[in-house]
Amino acid sequence: MPELAVALPAPSRAPVASSWRLRLLDRPLLSIGVALVLLIVLLALIAPLLPLRDPNVTAPARRLSGAGVNGYVLGSDQLGRDLLSRLLWGARVSITVALVAAGVAFVAGGSIGLLAGFYGGVVDNVLMRLIDILMAFPYVLLAIALVAALGPGLLNALIAIAVVNISFYARGVRAAVLVVRHMAFIEAARALGARDVRILLKEVLPSVAPPLLVFVTLNIGALIVETAGLSFIGLGAQPPTADWGTMLADGRQFMMTAPHVAAIPGLAVLALVWGLNMVGDSLRDMLDPTLAHATR
């Protein structure tokens, strides 16, 4: 999301851990956000233990039931499958894919950014040109083309999303590294004879980590939406696997007759992303006090 590129907290050496516990209580927004995210994640985790209907069992005679009808708490979809059950099981799928994709993009993009920012010069130039090429390609189309090329399925959707997001992480990390690179403690480490790798890992990375944490938190929401988007276009989860995107796509045909089939997974996505954004926002405030008065 564009906002992230513009307003990240300045990376610094200031210790962060000590004050955050106190701030948690100060901040209602953070608490709500954390609560929302934890609730959804928890529900997703314990879904197998809950007394839910099997999410894949079809009952064509009771398709498109409304909420509360025919014993379905949230209604049923076009094959008569329980929406509540598919929602919770779908949460597991959607969240996992987003997390893993974020991880992959982070590692891959982050490494590129780290190297480009730290070494500069030709390395920087070449790497950033490659990233430019990746960015000039309309990102959604790249994801779709990749999935069409690799075949549909969650794994490939995951790869596509990760690849597409690498450029954001690369640029973000690079920008952060550029700021840090010339700071005194780096010069000091060099003067003391530390090797590049060591500097990278022990000095640069920890300084860059906090703003990156904010970045990742805010980005995961976007990834969840992108995963849903790919499934929405039909290139994500395979039947009968439920994920929020396919549920949204399936529901689209029934908007006239049964809008709840699409509305409910959409609300779920909204809630989770909202929670994540609240957490990310608050983290950002906490990490960079100079921004604090600007946002709240």
Partner 1 sequence: MASDTRGPGGQRLSRRGFVRTVGAGVALSALAPTLLAPIGRAAPARAAATPGVLVVGLVAEPTSLDPGQLTDINSMKLLGAMYDTLVRFKPNSFDIEPSLATSWDRSADGLLYTFKLRSGVKFHDGTDFNADAVKFTYDRLLDPTHPYADTGPFPFAPGYYGSIAESIVVDPLTVQFRLNREDSALLDAFTLNTGRIVSPQAVKTSRKDFAQNPVGTGPFKFAGWDHNVRITLNANPDYWDGAPALQQMIFRPLADEQTRITEFLSGGVDVIFDVPPDNIDQVKNTAGALFLAQPGPHVWWVTLNTKKPPFDNVLVRQAANFAINKDALTLDILKGTGTPSVGPIPPAITWAYTDQVAQYNYDPDRAQALLQQSGVLLPINVTFWVTESGSGMQSPKTMGTAIQADLAVVGINAQIQTFEWGAFLNKYGTGLADEAAMAELSWMFDSGDPAHMLPNNLYGPACSPKGFNGGCYQNPQVDGLLESALKVYDRDQRGAIYKQIQQIVAADAPWIFVDNQIQNAAISTRVSGLDLHPSFYMTFLNRISAA
Partner 2 sequence: MHRYLVQRLLLVVLVLLGVSLLVFIVTRLTPGDPARVLLGPRATEEQVAQLRTAYGLDQPLQMQYVTWLARVVRGDLGESIQLHRPVLGEVVERFRGTLILAVAAMIISFTVGIVFGVAAALRANTALDRALMSLALLGISMPPFWVGLILIIAFTLGLRWLPATGMFSPTGGGDLQDLLVHLVLPAVSLAVVPLAVIARLTRANVLEVLNQLYVRTARAKGLHSRTVVLRHVLRNTLIGTVTILGLETGWLLAGTVYIETVFAWPGIGAMLVNAILQRDYPLVQGGVLLVAAIYVLINLSTDILYLYLDPRLRHA
Q: Does 289 bind partner 2 (CB under 8 A)?
A: no
Query: Closest CB to partner 1 among 31 and 70?
Result: 70
Q: Does 60 bind partner 1 (CB under 8 A)?
A: yes
Q: Restricting to residues 231-260, name those near partner 2 by CB under 8 A.
A: 232-233, 248, 251-252, 255-256, 259
Inter-residue contact 160 to 149 (CB < 8 Å):
no
Closest approach of Cβ 8 to partner 1, in Å? 7
Tokens at 3, concatenated: 């906002």
What is the distance between the alpha carbons of residues 291 and 207, in angstroms, rounded to a whole number?
A: 18
Question: Considering only 88-96, 144-152, 159-167, 186-194, which stretch makes contact with partner 1 by CB under 8 A?
Answer: 144-152
- CA angle (156 as vertex; 97, 44 as ends), nearest 5: 20
Identify residue 75 by its one-letter amino acid code. G
The residue among 206, 211, 203 whose CA lies nearest residue 187 is: 203
Inter-residue contact 215 to 171 (CB < 8 Å):
no
Question: Considering only 41-49, 146-154, 156-164, 222-230, which stretch makes contact with partner 1 by CB under 8 A?
Answer: 146-154
Q: Does 38 bind partner 2 (CB under 8 A)?
A: no
DSSP for 49-108 reads GS----TT---GGGTT--TTGGG-SS-B-TTS-BHHHHHHHHHHHHHHHHHHHHHHHHHH
Q: Which residue has the tokens 């779908």?
A: 90
Q: Does 129 bind partner 2 (CB under 8 A)?
A: yes
Query: Out of 48, 151, 206, 259, which residue is the one contacting partner 1 (CB under 8 A)?
Result: 151
What is the distance between the alpha carbons of residues 16 and 13, in angstroms, rounded to a whole number?
A: 9
Tokens at 56, concatenated: 């894949």
Question: Considering only 39-47, 71-79, 92-100, 138-146, which stretch makes contact with partner 2 by CB under 8 A?
Answer: 138-146
According to DSSP, residue 112 is labeled H
Query: Out of 152, 194, 213, 271, which residue is the one contacting partner 1 (CB under 8 A)?
Result: 152
Contacts with partner 2 by CB under 8 A lie at: 1-3, 5-7, 129-130, 132-142, 144-146, 148-151, 221, 225, 228-229, 232-233, 248, 251-252, 255-256, 259, 262-263, 266, 269-270, 273-274, 276-278, 281, 291, 293-296
Contacts with partner 1 by CB under 8 A lie at: 5-10, 56-58, 60-61, 63, 78-79, 148, 151-153, 234-235, 238-240, 253-257, 288, 290-291, 294
